[in-house]
A and B are shown apart, each in its own frame.
Chain A
């Protein structure tokens, strides 16, 4: 029985752009946007909440197609 393992082809996908990590970042952005929408401290934070949530959601949709 051969013990030689077939060599795994190294993916050229950058390691920093892995799905798990990027999804976590997108989730954090959505959560920050959500907090900005609800916080009672500054109207300016509320004003930018929608853009933040939209950016997080768009990022989540894109990065969920990335390889693991």
Chain B
């Protein structure tokens, strides 16, 4: 039936077109089909990358396109790598990355461990826990702004109820001490479910017979956790840590929506500094060099991530 249809199609194809199609090899046909995607990838990903590398060696300013572009060599890189403000922005990023990853890993793993107990209604609670991850960062940023409002925000009232501090004094987004923690709380709230999912996959991959053997050997629950659960789930935890590390290192949307880098520059992470240099100071060459430095850092981390992923696959 299929052959007859194919024959009919072949017979109905005009001779010049049929000749052309017969002339293309399988490999050629494959290239023909994937070439639009490759062209698109080159246009949107690869070309801007090489253009940014070129710009990073110049004094180009996007707001002065007619000005003569001078080649500065490595001057932009030297300036960034000797700039105290950029160094502080890196430390702010490190503080943010460290605490978000720590909290997300601890809470995510604990949740995964609890969900893995398969208690009554665990499927329902898994769905509820996953909801924050499905929301858009723009939506999350906006409603947490309302929650953090000192006058009307629910968060301020809860803190006031627990600690006794008046809600108007709980200025999460405008207090220098609290603003970084406000962002850490939101990011942890949003991305802990993601870590939980990866850890859950790790926990579910542990064969049941190992626990049964441990039971036979009269290993305590604590011993089983330390000697079986944690070591066997560790590659998955590492994967989650690396993935969140890469994502949080590039974090922009939540910080921009919640504090915009303020108060002062207390929450000015690397990506916010980059945006300020590129679109407020219009130092395009300088910011391109900064972007390349961040790119190399993320690329290096991604290599480690791929290595960890291969280890997980080998299991």
Residue positions of A touching B, CB distance < 8 A: 23, 26-27, 30-31, 33-34, 37-40, 43, 46-50, 53-54, 56-57, 60-61
Contacts and interface: CB of A to CB of B under 8 A. Distances in A.
B81 interface: yes
A27 B299 CA distance: 12
A10 to B, nearest CB: 26
Nearest to A42: B87
B301 interface: yes
B271 to A, nearest CB: 14
Contacts of B94: 38-40
Interface of B: prevailing SS: helix
A33 B300 contact: yes
18 contacts: A23-B307, A26-B303, A31-B304, A34-B300, A37-B90, A38-B90, A40-B94, A43-B84, A43-B87, A46-B90, A47-B82, A53-B297, A53-B300, A54-B296, A57-B299, A57-B300, A60-B303, A61-B303
Interface of B: 77, 81-82, 84, 87, 90-91, 93-94, 97, 293, 296-297, 299-301, 303-304, 307
Contact of B307 (A27, A39, A43): A27
A37 B296 CA distance: 11
Given A38-B94, A40-B91, A46 B81 contact: yes
A22 B272 CA distance: 36
A60 B299 CA distance: 11
Contacts of B77: 50
Given A46-B90, A47-B82, A50-B77, A34 B297 contact: yes
A65 to B, nearest CB: 13
Contact of A27 (B87, B91, B296, B304): B304
Contacts of A61: 303
A50 B293 contact: yes
A30 B91 contact: no
Nearest to B306: A64
A9 B94 CA distance: 49
Q: Across chains A and B, which 8 residue pairs bring their CB atoms closest together, nearest first?
A: A38-B94, A30-B300, A57-B300, A47-B81, A60-B303, A40-B91, A53-B300, A46-B87
A47 B175 CA distance: 31
B91 A38 contact: yes
Contact of A56 (B82, B93, B300): B300
Contacts of A54: 296
Given A27-B304, A40-B91, A54-B296, 5 more contacts: A33-B300, A34-B301, A37-B90, A39-B94, A46-B90
Nearest to A51: B81
A26 B302 CA distance: 13
A29 B44 CA distance: 31
Contacts of A23: 307
Nearest to B93: A38
B304 A30 contact: yes
